[in-house]
Amino acid sequence: MPLKIVTHSLDAMLWRHGMWHPAIGPLLRNIVLLTLFCLATGGAFFVISSWFFWFGVGMGLMALIFFGLAHFFLRSGLSDYSTSFLRIVLLRWGGRQVILAGLLYTALIVCKAPPSAILGGFAASVAAALFTYALAVRGQ
């Protein structure tokens, strides 16, 4: 499947889920594409080395965090700052951290994933997000 078709269908899916911001949509799209690439490549070479697969899992976990935060902040207006808004943000952030902790425990302890691979996936996902955001802001 050509990359252009995948990119357009992923953009359409993100648009349907409320990711309409011109800087956030490409950010999420690029992180998801990188995650899918790492998971597919890591899955293909899992027998040789599982490190790249767990790298993709780390990227996927961070992509879920980015997606959840973007979905929340784009759905609620950013101008509505109040103490109740802060409580909701902290509660949702804490809930995401609990889910992330459960998934990390499962990956590290149950599946015996290498911690360096998951941490590398986290770092690569954040770096890709910052790079994509810088390009999007520069292009505006």
Q: Residue 129 and residue 27: Cα distance in Å, rounded?
A: 6
Domain ranges of the chain: 3-139
What local confidence, expressed as pLDDT, does residue 81 receive? Answer: 65
Q: Residue 5 and residue 3: Cα distance in Å, rounded?
A: 6
What local confidence, expressed as pLDDT, does residue 80 receive? Answer: 60
For each successive 10 residues of the chain (140 residues), what is the average pLDDT? 78 79 82 92 92 95 87 69 75 88 94 95 93 83
What local confidence, expressed as pLDDT, does residue 14 receive? Answer: 79
- CB of 132 closer than 8 Å to CB of 26: yes
In this structure, what are the phi and psi dihedrals at residue 111, rounded to the nearest 5 degrees?
A: -90, -5
What local confidence, expressed as pLDDT, does residue 127 receive? Answer: 94
User: pTM to 2 decimals?
Assistant: 0.83
